A and B are shown apart, each in its own frame.
Chain A
Amino acid sequence: MPLLAAAAVWLCTVMVLVVWSVMGGFLSMLIGSGRTVTGDVIIAWPNAGFPYYHDLIDRLQKEPLVDAAAPMIESFGMLSLPDGRLQHALIRGVDGPSYARVTKYADTLWWKPIARPLDKDTDGMDPRLHGLGRSSWEQVFQNGMTLTRRSEITGEPEAAIVPGVEVTGFNSRRPEGYYVPKVMEKRLPDGSTAELDQFLPRDGKILIHMAPLSATGKAVEMTSRTFPVANEFQSGVYEFDQEFVLMRLDAAQEMLRLNAAKRLEKRDGPTGGGPRVVAPGEETFDDPAEQLVDDPARVTHVIVKGKGDTATSEGSQALKAACRRVYGEFAAAHAGSVPGSGDIRIFTWEDKNRTMINAVQKETSLLLFLFMLISLVAVFLILAIFWSMVAEKTKDIGVLRAVGAGSAGIAGWWISYGLAIGLVGGVLGVAGAYLVVYNINPIHDWLGRQMGIVIWDPAIYYFFKIPNEVDPAKAAWVFAGAMMSSVLGAVVPALRAAYMDPVKALRFE
C-alpha cells in the first residue's frame, strides 16, 4: 500500500513538472525568440520612417545599457517565386553587419558549413556536411551575412535577399531536423527534362513587389525588383521563418522611397510655400522662389540590443526607458524633422506580443491549475491508503500507546510516514520528469513514427522543437508540493491514529 501511495505521488509529480516545464519553456522560448530576430527594444515609426537614424544609433550606442543598435525597415511585400506562385511576406531591410550585432543573425543563417551533423541526423545526410553541387557553404554564408550575391553576368556582388527557410516552399524539412532543397523536373532547351534541385542560394531569384507610401501615408506607384537569394535563415520561430524576408537596407530604402533624396522647398518670403519632394535627377531650378534641400534617408525602425540581463522584465523595461530618454534628446536635436518623443513607438518584444504572451501565460496557469486539481487525487489516494493502513495497524497503535507513545508521537509517526512517501514519490517524480522533459523530442518523434501522432505542430506552436529544459526552481516547487500533498493526505489518518482509544485499539480484532 505505501508503494501505491508513493507511485501516485510519483506520477502526479511527473505530470505537473512536465506540463509546467514544457509550457513554461514554450513561454520562455516565445519571449526569448524575439531577441533572436529583433533585439531587445524596438524604436518604430512605421510607414513614413524617420531620418537621421545614424545620429540616433550613435547616441544609443553611447548609452551604458545599450550594447548595439541597428537600422531596420519593415514593410509588406509580395513575392513572385520561380515556380510562378505569388506569396505575401514581411520584408525587412537590414544592414547585415549591424543587424548581426543586435540579433543572432549569423546563428540563424541556415546554409553554412557545419562540422558535426545534427543530433538526430545519425546517418550524416545533412547537405551542409558534404556540399551541394558547386556551392561553397562558406561563400553562401558570407553572402547571407552581407546580403549580397555575385552577379552571374558582371561578377560583381549585388544586393540580395535572405528569406526564411520556410518562406518559398522550396525546402523540405526532414524529421532529422535538416533541410534539403526540393527536386523539380525542369525542361531543358533541347526538349529533354532533367531533375534539378531548387537550391535558391545558388542561382535562385525572386521578384519582390513593394508599395511605398508617401509622407501622408498614401500608396504611391508599386515598385518591383528581382533579387538573387543570398542564403536562407532559420530562427527556430516558425512564424518568422515562414513570413519574413531580409533585404539589404539600401535596396529596401530604394524600393520604399525611403532613400536619400533632394527636396524642393519654397524659400521663405512672399513667394514661399510648402515643400515638394523630387526624385533624384529630376531637380528643376526654374522657380527662383524654390530651393533644393537634402532629404536624408529614413528607416522605419531602429532595433536595440541591451547589455547585461535584458531577459528579465525589469531589465528590458530599464533598457526601454533608457532608449526613450535617448530618443527624447535625439528628437529635441532634430525637432520638426523626426517624430516627437511622445509620438514615437518604443517597445520591447514582450510589449509587442503582450496579447500572445499573456494568452500563453494564462494557458500555462490554467493547465497547471487543472493538473494540480488532478494531483489532488493523490492527496485523497494517500488519505485513503493511510486510512486503511491505520485501520490495519489499530492493534499496533494500541501497543505503542501501551508502551508510552503519546498522541502527538503517534500522529508524528504517521505524518513522518507521509513525508517519507512524499520524499520517495517526489524524488522519483522529479527524476522522471527530468527524463521525460529532456527526451521529449525523441519521445514525440517516436510517437509520430509509431502512431502517426503529431502533438507539437510548429505551425501552431511557432517552434520546431518542444522546450526540453526543467527549471530547477520549478522542480523545487513541484517537489515541495509533492511533499506537502503527502503530508496533507496523511494528516487526517494520523489524527485518527493519534486519538484512538488505546484500550479499544488493543482489543481490536
Chain B
Amino acid sequence: MTPVTTLTATPSQVPAASDTLPALCIVGVRKTYRLGRVRVPVLHGVDLSVSEGEFVAILGASGSGKSTLLHLAGGLDRPDKGRGEASRIEFRGVDLNTMSRGQLDRYRARDAGFVFQFYHLLPELTVLQNVVIAAMVRRGFGYAPYAAACRDAARKLLEDVGLSHRLNHRPVELSGGERQRVAIARALINEPSLLLADEPTGNLDRATGESILTMLLEIRARRKLTMLVVTHDQHTAARADRIVRLADGRVVPG
C-alpha cells in the first residue's frame, strides 16, 4: 500500500514514538456521569499501559465502562479531576488532561483514529467524501492545496479495504461490513499512530466481523499501529496481543 505520506503533516503536539515510553499510559482514571441529581460512577481508578504497536483488547460486559475508557483515551471526554490521587491519560508522555480543547481536537485529528460499532458515516456524503472529510477537518482552512492529494490518499485507502468500486456510493447503499471498512479508511486517512475501536465487529455477522478484524490486523502490521479495541466478544479479544478485563469500572485480573 502506498503510504499517505504525500500529505505534508503539521507537526503534532505529542512527541514521536519512543522505545522507553508506552504509547498510551492511563493511571488512576475515574469518571462519573451525572444523570440529573444522580451521580453514576463509571470508572473507579483505571490503570492501563499500551506499548507502541501493541494491540490491546479491553474485554468487558455492557456497562463496564469500556467505551467511556475509549472516549477518554481519544480525548473526546475528560476524566474526573483527581482529589490528590495521580490521574493521568498520557499519549507518548503528554498528559491529555493538560491539553486545551484545541489541542485535544488536534490530537484526535492527527494522532488518534476512531472506529465505532455503528460506523457513524455521514449519510449525505459518498464513500469517498466520508473518508476525505477527516482530512478536511484536519487541514481546516489550509485544506485546498492538499485537496487532490487527500482525495488520492482516500481512494488508495478505500482500494486497500476493497471498496474501490464503491467510491461514489452513499453509506445507505453499502452493507454493514462495507460501512465499517469505510469507517476504518476514515480513521486512517490522517495516518494516526493510535487506533481506538469501539466494538468494531459488534454489529456484524461472525464472518464479516472476522474479515474486518483480519483487515485491521493487516493494517496494524503494515503501519505499526497501536490499537486499543473495546469488545465484549471473547473471540475478537483473542486476536489481540493482550486482553485487559474491565468489570464495574475497574481493571480486573484475567
B130 closest partner in A (C-beta) = A399
CB of B95 within 8 Å of the partner chain: no
Query: B138, A402: Cβ atoms under 8 Å?
Result: no
Interface string of B70-112 (1 = CB under 8 A from A): 0100101100000000000000000000000110011111100
B183 closest partner in A (C-beta) = A399
Q: List residues of A (385-419) whose CB comes within 8 Å of B's CBs.
A: 395-396, 398-407, 409
CB of B140 within 8 Å of the partner chain: yes
Query: A402, B105: Cβ atoms under 8 Å?
Result: no
Query: A409, B120: Cβ atoms under 8 Å?
Result: no
C-alpha gap A399/B106 in the complex (Å) = 15
Residues of A near B106 (CB, < 8 A) are 404
Query: A403, B76: Cβ atoms under 8 Å?
Result: no
Q: List residues of B (26-79) whose CB comes within 8 Å of A's CBs.
A: 71, 74, 76-77
A401 closest partner in B (C-beta) = B76
Residues of B near A406 (CB, < 8 A) are 101-102, 105
Residues of B near A503 (CB, < 8 A) are 71, 76-77
Most buried by B among A395, A398, A400, A405: A405
CB of B148 within 8 Å of the partner chain: no
Q: List residues of B (117-150) whose CB comes within 8 Å of A's CBs.
A: 120-123, 133-134, 137-138, 140
CB of A93 within 8 Å of the partner chain: no
- Total A-B pairs in contact (CB under 8 Å)? 58
Query: A400, B137: Cβ atoms under 8 Å?
Result: yes
Q: Which of B77, B108, B123 is A403 in contact with, Cβ under 8 Å?
A: B108
Instruction: Say what secondary structure dominates the interface of chain A.
Output: helix
Residues of chain A at interface, number, CB under 8 A: 17
Q: A502-B76, A503-B71, A503-B77 are in contact. Are A404 and B108 (CB under 8 A)?
A: yes
Query: A409, B133: Cβ atoms under 8 Å?
Result: no
Q: Which of A395, A396, A402, A409 is B76 in contact with, Cβ under 8 Å?
A: A402
Q: How far is the CB of B8 from chain A (nearest CB, A)?
A: 17
CB of A377 within 8 Å of the partner chain: no
Residues of B near A398 (CB, < 8 A) are 120
Q: A409-B137, A409-B140, A502-B76 are in contact. Are A404 and B120 (CB under 8 A)?
A: no
Query: A403, B101: Cβ atoms under 8 Å?
Result: no
C-alpha gap A405/B101 in the complex (Å) = 11
Residues of chain B at interface, number, CB under 8 A: 26
Query: B74, A405: Cβ atoms under 8 Å?
Result: no
C-alpha gap A398/B122 in the complex (Å) = 11
CB of B186 within 8 Å of the partner chain: yes
CB of B201 within 8 Å of the partner chain: no
C-alpha gap A398/B114 in the complex (Å) = 12
Interface string of B166-191 (1 = CB under 8 A from A): 00000000000000000000110010
C-alpha gap A406/B107 in the complex (Å) = 11
CB of A506 within 8 Å of the partner chain: yes
Query: B76, A405: Cβ atoms under 8 Å?
Result: no
B186 closest partner in A (C-beta) = A403
Q: A404-B137, A407-B101, A409-B140 are in contact. Are A396 and B110 (CB under 8 A)?
A: no
Q: How far is the CB of B131 from chain A (nearest CB, A)?
A: 10
C-alpha gap A502/B112 in the complex (Å) = 15
C-alpha gap A292/B248 in the complex (Å) = 128
C-alpha gap A502/B116 in the complex (Å) = 13
Query: B110, A506: Cβ atoms under 8 Å?
Result: no
C-alpha gap A405/B134 in the complex (Å) = 8
Residues of B near A401 (CB, < 8 A) are 76, 105, 108
C-alpha gap A493/B101 in the complex (Å) = 20
Q: A404-B137, A406-B101 are in contact. Are A395 and B120 (CB under 8 A)?
A: yes
Residues of A near B102 (CB, < 8 A) are 406
Q: List residues of B (195-240) whose CB comes within 8 Å of A's CBs.
A: none
A403 closest partner in B (C-beta) = B134
Q: How far is the CB of B11 from chain A (nearest CB, A)?
A: 15
Q: Which of B101, B109, B120, B190 is A399 in contact with, Cβ under 8 Å?
A: B120
C-alpha gap A400/B137 in the complex (Å) = 8
Residues of A near B109 (CB, < 8 A) are 403-405
Residues of B near A399 (CB, < 8 A) are 120-122
Q: A407-B101, A409-B137, A503-B76 are in contact. Are A402 and B110 (CB under 8 A)?
A: no
Residues of A near B137 (CB, < 8 A) are 400, 403-405, 409
- For this complex, 30 residue pairs linking A to B, each with C-beta atoms less than 8 Å apart, are A395-B120, A398-B120, A399-B122, A400-B133, A400-B137, A401-B108, A402-B74, A402-B120, A403-B108, A403-B109, A403-B114, A403-B137, A403-B138, A403-B186, A404-B105, A404-B108, A404-B110, A404-B134, A404-B137, A404-B138, A404-B190, A405-B137, A406-B101, A406-B105, A407-B105, A501-B77, A502-B76, A503-B71, A506-B116, A506-B120
Give chain A's interface residues, CB within 8 Å of chain B: 395-396, 398-407, 409, 501-503, 506
Q: A404-B105, A503-B71 are in contact. List 14 more A-B contacts (CB 8 A).
A: A395-B120, A399-B122, A401-B76, A401-B108, A402-B76, A403-B134, A404-B110, A404-B134, A406-B101, A406-B102, A406-B105, A407-B101, A502-B76, A502-B77
Give the 10 A-B CB pairs with smallest separation, nearest first. A404-B109, A406-B105, A404-B108, A403-B134, A399-B120, A405-B137, A402-B114, A503-B77, A502-B76, A404-B137
